[in-house]
Amino acid sequence: MKKVLVTGGAGYIGCHTVVELLNHDFIPIIIDNFSNTDERILQGLEEILGFMPIVYRTDCTDYKAMHEVFSLEKPDAVIHFAAFKAVGESTAHPLKYYHNNIDSLLVVLRLMDEFNVNELVFSSSCTVYGQPAMLPVNENCPPQQATSPYGYSKQVSEQIIIDTCAARPQLKCTLLRYFNPIGAHPSALIGELPYGIPNNLVPYITQTAAGIREKLTIHGNDYSTNDGTCIRDYIHVCDLAAAHVKALEWLSGQSNVCEAFNLGQGKGNSVKEVVDTFVRVNNVAVNIEIGPRRSGDVEQVYADVSKVKNALHWQTERSLDEALKDAWKWQRHLTQA
């Protein structure tokens, strides 16, 4: 069985991927500094799995501590999630973002070289596309000027991996460009932990429905879309997690490769459609108001998923309805806890 280091493995996408890895006979080793998650996720994982996976409370930018983990665990592959991801915060604290997101990747790549670990699955984002000229956007679409330090950190990270792959013939990498991950594990034992006021749409909707927030502000209804609100490609986090397993399986049959893959449903939904769907499938009310556009938002982006379907034999299996039901179930679990 292959041992996989999962940096950021106690985070939102990381913890769902840990479950998926164990379901497919990989051994995940979690590395997390718990700066943006907490013990509840580990308890949830333990309940789902029936045992506690191996966890290192380690910061990925700490070369010495990470060296120790690599020498103790001798992994076969790495999935590198550990990163900050709040667009607005990255504009206020760019150095925090560049330090965490870039230094952690440099440490991981350096140690993979030193310990001869040759398979890397990297968490990238559709943010690298900016507002693409073509929709649905495919992986060949040239990156646009990033609108935030967070977005730029993902573009630079991709380039660092491409350059490292070109220089190190044993290395094999996938750059997974996530669209908008939402929802939670159907058990409602793991999900996204909201710290402070949520930035993202779905946690804001669920907190409004739960009465934690007074109302959801829709950021602009004057875009050139059907109902005037922005369009995104929302993907259930469990589908996203499954793609990481497919990526690892694919990499093991490759030699010196560095491929980007879009991970989305392949279809866009507007903000208003997401809110209406949430209300319909959960039979709860959500107070809304229309506000001004949010700076840095692109009007619409959704994925061309033909490359990932053909190469990794992966596609989404869960609908928007299901994702929004699971998101609500997770919110209720958090509210009751």
Residues designated as active site: 150
On the question of a cis peptide bond just before residue 136, with omega within 30 degrees of 0, the verdict is: yes
In angstroms, give the least distance from the CB of 117 to ligand UD1.
Answer: 26
Among 105, 173, 230, 238, binds ligand UD1 (CB under 6 A): 230
In angstroms, give the least distance from the CB of 52 to ligand UD1.
Answer: 28
Among 219, 307, 309, 332, binds ligand UD1 (CB under 6 A): 219
For residue 221, state whether it binds ligand UD1 (rule: CB under 6 A).
no
Question: For the window 177-216, what string marks contact with ligand UD1 as x by the rule CB under 6 A?
Answer: -x-x------------------xxx--x-----------x
Distance CA 280, CA 267 (A): 20
Closest CA to 37 of 82, 78, 70, 69: 82
Among 168, 267, 294, 332, binds ligand UD1 (CB under 6 A): 294
In angstroms, give the least distance from the CB of 216 to ligand UD1.
Answer: 6
Q: Which residues contact 315 (CB under 8 A, 6 or more apart)?
A: 266, 305, 308, 309
For residue 36, state whether it binds ligand UD1 (rule: CB under 6 A).
no
Question: For the window 54-93, what string marks contact with ligand UD1 as x by the rule CB under 6 A?
Answer: -------------------------------x-x------
* Range 76-97 burial, b when 16+ CB lie within 10 A, else e: bbbbbbbbbbbbebbeeeeeeb
For residue 267, state whether it binds ligand UD1 (rule: CB under 6 A).
no
Q: Are 7 and 78 in contact (CB under 8 A)?
A: yes
Distance CA 83, CA 100 (A): 6
Q: How many CB atoms lie within 10 A of CB 287?
A: 12
Chain residues in the site for ligand UD1 (CB under 6 A): 85, 87, 125-127, 148, 151, 178, 180, 199-201, 204, 216-219, 230, 232, 271, 294, 297-298
